[in-house]
Amino acid sequence: MEKPLSIRTQDVTLSERQEALIRRRAADLEKFYPRLVGCSVAVEGPGAHKKGSAGYRVALDLRVPGADPLIVNRTRRERLDRAIGDAFDVASRRLDEFGRVQRGETKAPRASGSA
C-alpha cells in the first residue's frame, strides 16, 4: 500500500490480538488486491451509540486507483472479533468484484436511479 494502514478507535481499546488481527487482515487484502493504495479502519465500541444499539461497529475505507473509495460499513456485532472478521470479509468480496470489473470480466453496476 502506498499509504500506511490507519486504525482509529472510539469508545473501545483494542487488545494486542485484535490490533494484530486487523493488521493481518489488511495485509491479506493487499495480497489479494496488490494495487490497493490505502486502508483505513474505524472501530467503534458500544458506548459510542444510543441506548438499544449496543455492539461493535467496524468500518473500512479502501482506496483503489482510478475509482471512488470502497466503503465497508458493517452492522453492529456483540463480539469485536466477529465485527472485524465480517468487515474484512465484505471488503474482500468488494475488492474481488472491483477487480473483475477492471479486468472486463463483468459489467460495472449501473448507477442507481438510471433507467
Paired sense of beta strands 6-10 and 38-44, if any: parallel
**In the block, which residue shows the cell 463480539?**
79
State residue 41 phi and psi, 5-degree precision.
Answer: -120, 130
Please check whether residue 65 is in contact with residue 31, taking contact to mean a CB–CB distance below 8 angstroms: no
Q: Is the dihedral of CA 101, 7, 38, 4 positive or negative?
A: negative
Q: Please tell me the distance from the alpha carbon of residue 8 to that of residue 25, in angstroms, as a whole number.
A: 16
Nearest to 57 by CA among 94, 31, 26, 82: 82
pTM: 0.82
Of residues 88 and 114, the one with the higher pLDDT is 88
- What's residue 114's pLDDT? 44
Please check whether residue 56 is in contact with residue 41, taking contact to mean a CB–CB distance below 8 angstroms: no
pLDDT, tens digit, for every residue of 49-107?
555 567 899 999 999 988 888 999 876 788 999 999 999 999 999 999 988 888 887 76
